[in-house]
């Protein structure tokens, strides 16, 4: 899942307007932001295997530290604790920890049984939505559309940058999603890691958008 995770981050602004969109993106994509680092360090492994599922050619061989259920629980707790230590906002900290965990839950729906439960365990889970390209696009597209709608309702543009910045991001995400869905598989696994690292730029884009948009009906 790709734009679905961003959709959840966008929707979270309606629940709690205080965290920046960049922080919401960082939380909702956190384990995918860690994963390419672990790939480059050789800690986790992925293989290009066309036909592995109908939707993606990636075969996730070993990634218990970024995507293992117990590991994600720990990352969720740490993310929330760090935010609370800095901002002293309990509701926001709980929400952000939940966003980190939401990534694993959505991956559980889409992945084939390749999600490990914990490091050292052979048990793996996954409901296999990726076996259907059509259903994957429908489910992920709906999450993204609903999340985008909720974000737009929860904020307003302060200037042209706030309007253009948001819509250019939404269009960019859809275009990247279409390219990943219908494009050719990457030639090797190393570019996957570097493309994954580039998602930090989308986090920065979220912070920039948030600086040019105001929250609607913020309650103290």
Q: Is the pLDDT of residue 220 over 70?
A: no
The whole-number pLDDT of residue 185 equals: 79
Q: What is the pLDDT of residues 78-124, one digit of tens each?
A: 999 999 999 999 999 999 999 999 999 999 999 999 999 999 889 99
Q: Hey, what are 197's tokens?
A: 């690292």
Contact partners, residue 27, CB within 8 Å, separation at least 6: 9, 12, 19, 79, 96, 97, 99, 100
Q: Enumerate the domain spans of the chain.
A: 3-212
Q: What is the pLDDT of residues 31-66, one digit of tens each?
A: 999 999 999 999 999 999 988 899 999 999 999 999
Q: What is the pTM of this model?
A: 0.95
The whole-number pLDDT of residue 219 equals: 52
Whether the CA torsion 63, 65, 69, 70 is positive or negative: it is positive
Centroid of chain to Cα 96 = 12
């Amino acid at each position: 899942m790709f734009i679905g995770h961003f959709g959840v981050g966008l929707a979270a602004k309606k629940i709690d307007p205080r965290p920046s969109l960049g922080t919401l993106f960082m939380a909702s994509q956190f384990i995918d932001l860690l994963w390419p680092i672990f790939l480059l360090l050789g800690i986790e492994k992925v293989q290009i295997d066309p036909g592995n599922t109908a939707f993606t050619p990636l075969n996730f061989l070993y990634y218990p530290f970024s995507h293992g259920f117990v590991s994600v629980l720990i990352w969720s707790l740490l993310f929330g604790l760090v935010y609370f230590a800095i901002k002293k906002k309990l509701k926001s900290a709980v929400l952000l920890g939940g966003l980190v965990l939401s990534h694993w839950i959505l991956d559980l729906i889409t992945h084939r049984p390749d999600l490990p439960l914990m490091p050292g365990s052979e048990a793996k889970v996954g409901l296999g939505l990726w076996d259907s390209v059509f259903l994957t696009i429908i489910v992920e597209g709906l999450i993204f559309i609903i999340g985008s709608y909720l974000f737009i309702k929860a904020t307003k543009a302060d200037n042209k940058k706030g309007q253009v910045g948001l819509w250019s991001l939404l269009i960019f995400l859809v275009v990247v999603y279409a390219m990943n869905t219908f494009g050719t598989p990457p030639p090797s696994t190393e570019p996957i890691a570097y493309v994954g690292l580039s998602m930090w730029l989308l986090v920065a884009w979220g912070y920039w958008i948030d600086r040019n948009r105001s929250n609607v009906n913020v309650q103290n």
